[in-house]
Structure 1
């Protein structure tokens, strides 16, 4: 997992400052939307083709399913998330992942098709960590 600079890219660069909103606002009711603030992301990692994992501190991991054909997040040193329509990143397709090119000149954008908070067990499996017995 990378603990490298994370670009907070929100409309008009809003939300890149520290927030007093607390941790993500994951819904407690089944079927309700789950959300997090892009400015709360502390690290990210590649999770296979067209998938990335972002961490909110040490307690939460979110899976971002990307549209097919996105650049390899595995080689990215930093990423950004652009929210589409809200400051929060919520379940559903309301965000884009921004991956700077290797040359440092520009970035590629990928539509985030789905956002889902992972259970601790799912997060460990997605990272390839051994299961506790």
Structure 2
């Protein structure tokens, strides 16, 4: 049986490698003033972020009232729809979510309950991806990988 983590990792790799072949409808588009909080919702605070080359940033946010994490990938400049992704995975609970498609400004939001757990998260924009594993684990050091395609 394939675990959710394996499915999410495979989907992230596929989203980066497919490039322009993805033809999904964009459920989200926004003005230039998109922020992680406007996408994730009220109560979410940015707790971590990672640049995706010069194309944008993927953000990890957390809502202390609910114990939920949210990840969103935001482009630096909006424009023609491009392949984008956002994913979040909580290894201890084997829970996660992902969003892959062609978007003009952001991918996500994706949510998972993560209170008291390390999280893996990341995103991609036009073939450049970032994966962060073992994140937000108090004194443990996270691992980041950026890939260009």
TM-score w.r.t. length of structure 1: 0.31
- Greater share of strand: 2
Q: TM-score, normalised by structure 2?
A: 0.28
